Structures are given as C-alpha cells and as structure tokens.
Amino acid sequence: MEGEAILLLMNKLGIAGSSGSACTSGSLEPSHVMRAMGIPYTAAHGTIRFSLSRFNTEAEIDRVIAGVPPIIAQLRKLSPYWSDSGDSAGKSGPAVKPEGAFAPTYA
C-alpha cells in the first residue's frame, strides 16, 4: 500500500501521520532509515510514521489502532498486488503474479 493513500484515508478519520522520516518531510523518497534497516524500496513507500508525546491520550492511540486496519483492508481490495482469494492455507496475501493484473485483454 502506498503511504500517501493510507494518509489520505487516515485524514478522513482525523488521524495524523507522515509517510516519511521527519528529516525528509516533503520528499517522495522513502525514509533512508527504513532503507538502512533493509526494508525493500516498495515496502518503505508504505510505511507510516506516528509522532507521540506525553500529551497523547490512550483514547487517541486506541482510535488509531481501530482506524488503521480497515483502511489497509480497503486499499488491499483496490490493489492488483494483493489477493483475497487466499493461498493453499486460505490466507490472503500478496498476489502470486501481480503482472497478470495489468495484462491487457482483447475481445
């Protein structure tokens, strides 16, 4: 999932976050910290950063915990890179051949 898409839907719920590190705000490049941790480039584009302080409440954190999973589920339904059909164990996951989602069909 693209971090920017996640942020747009989080914003509708009044949840603030960032899709990059604080030192690269405004950049479309994934966080250099995520890259240094060995997170693949495409996965690093889907990371979200939350900044917390002593002024955050438990209720605010609970709202994020409740709000983010449905956002991810919604975006996965739209993604050609995610399969809800399941694997041999019946679990959803990355599409086996995502390039097939973009293959043109001819009449």
Query: What is the rounded CA–CA span in Å between residue 67 and residue 37?
Result: 27
Choice among 3, 4, 11, 23 that is catalytic: 23
23 is catalytic: yes
In angstroms, the CA 21 to CA 32 distance is 8
User: What value does the CA radius of gyration of the chain take, rounded to a whole number of Å?
Assistant: 16
| Distance of alpha carbon 76 from alpha carbon 53, whole angstroms | 31
At residue 100, the 3 state secondary structure works out as helix
Q: Which residues are catalytic?
A: 23
